[in-house]
Amino acid sequence: MAQNNSVFQLLKNTSDKQQKFPYGSVFQMLPHSCSPMQLQKRRDCQVSMQILPNGRTISLSSHGKKVGAVTLLSSQSRTSELVNLNVDQEHRGQEFGKQLVFEAIHTAKSMGKNKIQLQSEDNGSRKLIRWYEGLGFKQIGRGRDGYPLMEKYI
């Protein structure tokens, strides 16, 4: 695999072999630019993925320090649920959250999913809702916890 290849190609090439890895396996994808789509200039990022019984946790590190993570839950349907997206306070505003969402979208696609849903734990300012809308998500109602339910077809 060439130096510039993304994590998405690596995942696609290993997806049929993943049953051999026990839950909790962690994959380090190096070298890896932060985003094949928008952050090609950043070479300081590494992405890792932990396989869980019901999904994947994707972590993003910069200069060797973990800056954020997101969990992608999977069910038998063609929908994945994005949960627990967080970026360390000191690293916010640097597009790490956007990168984690893009990584989750591509991971869901590689798992055969066609839709991602999430509950936006917006504090009433709608800032977080607008952020997700900027990434292509649309509000479709309220989730089971009462937060705005959003989805994106991928």
Pair 92, 125 in one domain? no
Q: pLDDT class for 1, splitting at 50, 70, 90? A: very low
- What local confidence, expressed as pLDDT, does residue 24 receive? 52
According to DSSP, residue 131 is labeled H
Which range (19-23, 94-98, 109-113) has the least confidence? 19-23
Is residue 60 a contact partner of residue 99, using CB atoms and an 8 Å limit?
yes
Handedness of CA 131, 133, 75, 61 (dihedral sign): negative
What pLDDT does 42 receive?
54
Q: Is the model more confident about 6 or about 47?
A: 47
Burial class (CB within 10 angstroms; exposed 0-12, middle 13-18, buried 19+) of 90: exposed
Instruction: Report the distance separating Cα 4 and Cα 43, nearest Å.
Output: 10
How far apart (Å, rounded) are the C-alpha atoms in residues 69 and 26? 13
Distance of CA 118 to the CA centre of its chain: 12
Query: Whole-prediction pTM value?
Result: 0.74
What one-letter code names the amino acid at 99? Q
The per-residue pLDDT for 26 is 53
* Same domain (yes/no): 66, 52: yes
What is the tens place of the pLDDT at every residue in 18-28? 334 444 555 54
Is residue 35 over pLDDT 50?
A: no
Domain that holds residue 127: 114-154
Say yes or no: 125 and 105 in one domain.
no
Overall domain count for the chain: 2
Q: Are residues 97 and 120 in the same domain?
A: no
Q: Indicate which CATH number applies to the domain containing 45.
A: 3.40.630.30
